[in-house]
Amino acid sequence: MIEIKSVSKTFKTKKDSFTALNNISLNIEDGDIFGIIGLSGAGKSTLVRCINLLERPTTGNVIIDGKDMTTLSKKELLTMRRNIGMIFQNFNLFSQRTIIKNVCYPMEIAGYSKADALKRAKEMLELVDLTEKENSYPSQLSGGQKQRVAIARALATNPKYLLCDEATSALDPNTTEQILELLKRINKELGITIVVITHEMRVVDKICNKVAVIDNSQIAECGLVSQVFASPKSQIAKELILPKKQSKIGTQAVRIVFNGESTNEPIISALVLECQVQVSIMFADTKDFDGKLFGQMVIRLPEDKRGADKVIEWLLAHNLDFKREEV
Amino acid sequence: MFSETFMKLWENHILQMGVWETIYMTLLSTVVAYIIGLPLGLVLCVTDKDGICPNRFINKTLSVIVNAFRSIPFIILMVAMLPVANFIVGTSLGNSAMVVMLIIAAAPYVARMTESSIKEVDAGVIEAAKAMGTPSFKIVTKVLIPEAKPSLIVGAVISTVTILGYSAMASTIGGGGLGQIAIVWGHQRSNSDIIWICVALTIIIVQIIQEIGMYIARKVDKRQR
């Protein structure tokens, strides 16, 4: 368990000082995927660095598994850090080391034998599905692959905790999805407690069970994701959550895929007339090539189940390629 | 006329000797300058206020010393350091004395080159190493030096060429090598052919050092595909 107890951090410059964290208290239970969300400059990166003491809190304590990080000796702190993996927005891999050597690094530091380190590194690369890249260098990898190597490296010494500092912010949506899936799997299968720092709502939405919203160096709101998302109380949480969430609540939809088989007949109007229901188009991207239709369209189903079933039946009857989904 | 002069010098083994002395002085001084300058540069970097073990006192002291030596023109430094050479190698003349001089002049230069190479290492990578529980000394040996290696090699090439230039200057006060041939045989006897032969040979040596060094630097750098 990670207990953050009234932690404050003030950066002093020659002329004035800047408060990055103001009296922050949080409990991160074992097994959590804990999201810390806030706008940039809110202090969340400083907060995560206070957990493994890359930044030393000005006041307050960070207690991990009963040990107060702020009172540890230098040596104890280094040992403790091996129990807390960390991944970064820019991956921070060693550019002059091969992938497998990158994963071996923390084990070299922790004093594993070469053979043990190599064996474990191979296992880790298997976990992140990059076995075939072990002799490549980071510059030969895509962003998503680099982050997977970083995850393998962070987990090599079998840590109990994993800190993710904007780990998906440099990645495209698809890759983000993959990395989030991987993090979720790590949490489930290896039982690693994960702290996720992000400014993206969907990251919290997708994997976290608890969330703390940080604004102006303070915690604005904290609790279960389901609760905070359902009824955000603070202004900042509302700003972060509601605009994207409003249109989404409980909407059933179907995604129709046009692959050139259906001709350019007016499908939607036919559907509306024949089923006697109202649907609205939420997204459409179709192209007409030689009178054949290609692309996708997402339509919202009627609220009542009977109407929705009618639409599905109609789509089946007309041999359209479609998928039900919740948006 | 030109080739005649060249053949004469060649047959009397003067040129071979000059080339050999130049290379020998340059390489020996570079190696020793690195033995002193590299750790110095690392200490400068590590103790910097943004370094891994900031120490204002050590950093400022070293920095002032390095700057002092760097700001003295080599020709003056050489004359001033003659007694030091005499103390270390027992003479203030000849190639061994010149090597001492070159080392004194080059070590601070190498320190600054090293410092700038090490400072290029991505701060994020250092942070990652810290987060993995790396002790400070191992950050230097396992992260800073390996990550800066290509840049350090480029620096070494530049330093070697600079020291080669210094070695020619050293011949004005008794050093050997191509510089001496150019000055004693060429300049003082008004034989411009000899000067140009020395110039050409120096260019060739520099080219060879440059090409080999850059080839190695490219070879070890894993950042490009």
User: What is the CATH topology of the domain spanning B4-224?
Assistant: MetI-like fold (1.10.3720)
CB nearest B225 (choices: A90, A139, A150): A139
Return the number of other C-beta atoms located less than 10 Å from residue A137's C-beta: 21
What's the pLDDT at A309?
82
DSSP-derived 3-state class of residue B67? helix
* For range B148-172, the mean pLDDT: 93
> Are residues B132 and A81, on separate chains, in Cβ contact within 8 Å?
yes
User: Is the whole-model pTM more than 0.90?
Assistant: no
Write out residues in chain A with pLDDT < 70, as ranges.
242-250, 262-264, 291, 327
What does the alpha-carbon distance between residue A41 and residue A166 come to, in Å, rounded to a whole number? 13
CB nearest B128 (choices: A80, A84, A92): A92
Q: Which of A94, A97, A136 to mutate to test the interface with B (most CBs of B within 10 A)?
A: A94
CA distance B132 to chain A (A): 5
What does the alpha-carbon distance between residue A264 and residue A287 come to, in Å, rounded to a whole number? 10
**More confident site: B207 or B187:** B207
Q: Which of A12, A49, A77, A92 to mutate to test the interface with B (most CBs of B within 10 A)?
A: A92
> Are residues A88 and B124, on separate chains, in Cβ contact within 8 Å?
yes
Contacts of B133 in chain A (CB under 8 A): 77-82, 106, 109-110
- Mean pLDDT in chain B? 91
What's the pLDDT at B38?
97
> Are residues A109 and B132, on separate chains, in Cβ contact within 8 Å?
yes
CB nearest A54 (choices: B131, B224, B225): B131
Chain B contact for A190, CB < 8 A?
no
Chain B contact for A160, CB < 8 A?
no
Q: Which parts of A29-112 are beta strand (E)?
A: 33-38, 59-64, 67-68, 84-87
CA-based nearest residue in chain B for residue A54: B131
Q: Which of A64-78, B2-16, B187-201 has the lowest mean pLDDT?
A: B2-16
What's the pLDDT at A263?
62
Phi then psi for A210, rounded to 5 degrees?
A: -130, 155
Element (H, E) at A319: none
CA distances from B147 to A92, A135, A148, B49, B135 (A): 12, 17, 21, 21, 17
CB pairs under 8 A between A and B: 80
> Are residues A109 and B143, on separate chains, in Cβ contact within 8 Å?
no
Provide the token pair at B160.
């070697």
- Which of A61, A58, A54 has its CA nearest to residue A26? A61
CB nearest B147 (choices: A78, A96, A163): A96
CA distance B133 to chain A (A): 4
- Which of A193, A227, A214 has its CA nearest to residue A39? A214
Q: Calculate what percentage of chain B has a pLDDT beyond 90.
A: 64
Residues contacting residue A151 through CB under 8 Å, at least 6 positions apart: A85, A87, A128, A162, A179, A182, A183, A186
What does the alpha-carbon distance between residue B121 and residue A87 come to, in Å, rounded to a whole number? 18
What does the alpha-carbon distance between residue A95 and residue B148 come to, in Å, rounded to a whole number? 10
> Are residues A109 and B222, on separate chains, in Cβ contact within 8 Å?
no
What does the alpha-carbon distance between residue A218 and residue A38 come to, in Å, rounded to a whole number? 10
What's the pLDDT at A245?
43
Contacts of A110 in chain B (CB under 8 A): 133
CB nearest A95 (choices: B134, B142, B147): B147
Q: Which of B132, B134, B144, B219 to mutate to test the interface with A (most CBs of A within 10 A)?
A: B132
Query: Across the strands, what pairs with A286?
Result: A295
DSSP-derived 3-state class of residue A69? helix
> Are residues A81 and B133, on separate chains, in Cβ contact within 8 Å?
yes
CB B92 within 8 A of CB B82: yes
CB A213 within 8 A of CB A220: yes
CA distance A216 to chain B (A): 25
pLDDT one-digit tens code per residue, B83-124: 988 898 888 888 888 899 999 999 999 999 999 999 999 999
CA distance A137 to chain B (A): 7
CB A315 within 8 A of CB A323: no
CA-based nearest residue in chain B for residue A48: B131
CB B194 within 8 A of CB B178: no
Tally the residues of chain B: 225
CA-based nearest residue in chain B for residue A95: B223
Contacts of B131 in chain A (CB under 8 A): 52, 54, 81, 84-86, 163
Tally the residues of chain A: 327
Q: Where are the alpha helices (DSSP H) in A156-301?
A: 173-190, 201-207, 225-230, 235-245, 267-275
What does the alpha-carbon distance between residue A318 and residue A171 come to, in Å, rounded to a whole number? 39
Phi then psi for B20, rounded to 5 degrees?
A: -60, -45
Chain B contact for A86, CB < 8 A?
yes
Contacts of B130 in chain A (CB under 8 A): 54, 81
* For range B149-161, the mean pLDDT: 96
CB B28 within 8 A of CB B101: no
> Are residues A109 and B124, on separate chains, in Cβ contact within 8 Å?
no
What's the pLDDT at A257?
81
> Are residues A94 and B143, on separate chains, in Cβ contact within 8 Å?
yes
CB B181 within 8 A of CB B14: yes
Q: Calculate what percentage of chain B has a pLDDT beyond 70.
A: 99
CB B192 within 8 A of CB B100: no
What does the alpha-carbon distance between residue B39 and residue B151 come to, in Å, rounded to a whole number? 16
Q: What is the number of alpha carbons within 13 Å of residue A235 lying toward its C-beta?
A: 2
Question: What's at B90, amino acid-wise?
Answer: G
> Are residues A93 and B125, on separate chains, in Cβ contact within 8 Å?
yes
Chain B contact for A56, CB < 8 A?
no
ipTM: 0.87
Chain B contact for A92, CB < 8 A?
yes
What does the alpha-carbon distance between residue B78 and residue B121 come to, in Å, rounded to a whole number? 34
The answer to whether the Cα torsion of A14, A20, A22, A25 is positive or negative is negative
Chain B contact for A6, CB < 8 A?
no
CA-based nearest residue in chain A for residue B146: A96
DSSP-derived 3-state class of residue A218? strand
What does the alpha-carbon distance between residue A206 and residue A315 come to, in Å, rounded to a whole number? 30
**Alpha carbon distance, N-terminus to C-terminus of chain B:** 51
